[in-house]
A and B are shown apart, each in its own frame.
Chain A
């Protein structure tokens, strides 16, 4: 039969030579391999002290951004929820009342905004769909493990970016 690749090796069964039967040269060879590994650099990342370096395009936990005045950018248009292939995003919209201009940028805003982290596949399509540049997937945070399923549904309390104080910025 015509071989598919040129990597085929012919296996021959022959009598072992004396060196092979003596077994000790093979042991010495094996010891050589293990001692080489003994001095190798270890691949371990000491987790709580060190963390693995992530790519700058890593998609982690979501954040709802604020604009430069500290008002929420999200206008509850629902495009992210439509774009979401895993149907992880739900929201209810509400109308901005007078005096709330410093809280919400547009007249319409998200009263609730929930991402189910168990459904989310962190594809980043919500980020791409958003016309207001309101939702982003952070490159430095992960959704941590929890004991209860409902704790994975992240509401606005955990998604919205904390208010920046003027002193720090």
Chain B
């Protein structure tokens, strides 16, 4: 790889990292704002115009709080827990194609940090590591409630990852590739996967809620019954890291859903726009930049949906959660695979 490419990659990774953190920061603000609006309140509005500086105030508060470690806790693991959660959360956005290709000075620049031919597997691997952060934190706290939260997080992850993977297999059968870029390119224009995989998308969506520990599947946290679950003993910025990691996970889950099912950076009448501009380089760049905008709009809509659901649905009971995962979602996902396989065979037979 040339040094220019390397420099570009470094800059791109930094930008994506910054955007991820920014979106996670402002997710806390919008979470509170949306919660307030849905409950007929106005939400934070004192820090800055419309309360826009609220996340900074929150972060400042968390930084300056006493960094307390319980006496009987395992100190090393206690510190490692939020670190793992944060590390894993920020790693997963590396393979997501946020845009197509820009042409800068005759050089083709892909808007993706790393292009690997197993992008989907990479995301799955990294996201499922995320539960280690929760487990380590819950275990190290030496607290019954934390341990219960950690156990719940682990068992929830195992049961929902299965259905999630199975629902994805149907997509992979159609696209024939594990690379997120290839999957994105195949959905050019308005040819999105959601039109072919509505059932698979619903299964994936439900599992994404469980994976990111969001209501109605926020059992590891469950502030009502477990006093915060795995982060009961955490305070100051360590707690902040856990919460932050959760919002980054939402962002990543939204990106993955937008890429896999909602056409990533593709938008309707893309080719018409490309043809409308005479200069091919300019046309390509304009289409790519609009595509990046479209991608982020899709991501924000998903993030909004995550929050909207949080303030609509109550939490599932633990046995209901397990029943839904094992007895309903997995059979449905298998049914979806069979239907997709039948569809592909039928298409081959007809053509």
Binding site for B on A (CB under 8 A): 24, 27, 30-31, 33-35, 37-40, 42-44, 46
| Interface residue? B308 (CB, 8 A) | yes
- CB within 8 Å for A31 and B312 given contacts A24-B202, A42-B42: yes
Interface size class of B (residues with CB under 8 A): 10 to 19
Let me know if B311 and A40 touch, CB within 8 A: no
Residues of A within 8 A of B309 (CB): 27, 31
Let me know if B308 and A31 touch, CB within 8 A: yes
Let me know if A42 and B41 touch, CB within 8 A: yes
Let me know if A35 and B42 touch, CB within 8 A: no
Let me know if B312 and A34 touch, CB within 8 A: yes
- CB within 8 Å for A38 and B37 given contacts A27-B313, A30-B312, A31-B308: yes
Q: How many A-B residue pairs have CB under 8 A?
A: 35
Query: Smallest CB–CB gap between B214 and chain A, Å?
Result: 14
- CB within 8 Å for A38 and B41 given contacts A27-B312, A31-B309, A31-B312: no
Nearest first, the 8 closest Cβ-Cβ pairs linking A and B are: A34-B312, A30-B312, A44-B42, A38-B37, A34-B38, A42-B42, A38-B38, A37-B38
20 new A-B contacts, CB < 8 A, other than A31-B309, A34-B312, are A27-B312, A27-B313, A30-B312, A34-B38, A34-B308, A34-B311, A37-B37, A37-B40, A38-B34, A38-B37, A38-B38, A38-B308, A39-B37, A40-B40, A42-B37, A42-B40, A42-B41, A42-B42, A44-B41, A46-B45
Binding site for A on B (CB under 8 A): 34, 37-42, 45, 202, 308-309, 311-313
Q: Taking CB as reference atom, which chain A residue is nearest B34?
A: A38
Residues of A within 8 A of B45 (CB): 46
The CA-CA distance from A34 to B312 in the complex, in Å, is: 6
Q: Taking CB as reference atom, which chain B residue is nearest A40?
A: B40
The CA-CA distance from A15 to B311 in the complex, in Å, is: 29
Residues of B within 8 A of A31 (CB): 308-309, 312
Residues of B within 8 A of A44 (CB): 41-42
Query: Smallest CB–CB gap between B136 and chain A, Å?
Result: 33
Question: Of the candidates B39, B40, B308, which one forms a contact with A35 in the assembled complex, judged by CB atoms under 8 Å apart?
Answer: B308
Query: Smallest CB–CB gap between A39 and chain B, Å?
Result: 8
Q: Taking CB as reference atom, which chain B residue is nearest A30?
A: B312
Residues of B within 8 A of A30 (CB): 312-313
Residues of A within 8 A of B202 (CB): 24
25 contacts between A and B (CB under 8 A): A24-B202, A27-B309, A27-B313, A30-B312, A30-B313, A31-B308, A31-B312, A33-B312, A34-B308, A34-B312, A35-B38, A35-B308, A37-B38, A37-B39, A37-B40, A38-B34, A38-B37, A38-B308, A39-B37, A42-B37, A42-B40, A42-B41, A43-B40, A44-B41, A46-B45
The CA-CA distance from A5 to B226 in the complex, in Å, is: 43
The CA-CA distance from A31 to B37 in the complex, in Å, is: 13
Query: Smallest CB–CB gap between B321 and chain A, Å?
Result: 13
Q: Taking CB as reference atom, which chain B residue is nearest A26?
A: B313
Most central of B38, B45, B309 by chain A CB within 10 Å: B38
Residues of A within 8 A of B313 (CB): 27, 30
Residues of B within 8 A of A34 (CB): 38, 308, 311-312
Residues of A within 8 A of B308 (CB): 31, 34-35, 38
Q: Taking CB as reference atom, which chain B residue is nearest A22?
A: B328
Most central of A30, A34, A37, A43 by chain B CB within 10 Å: A34
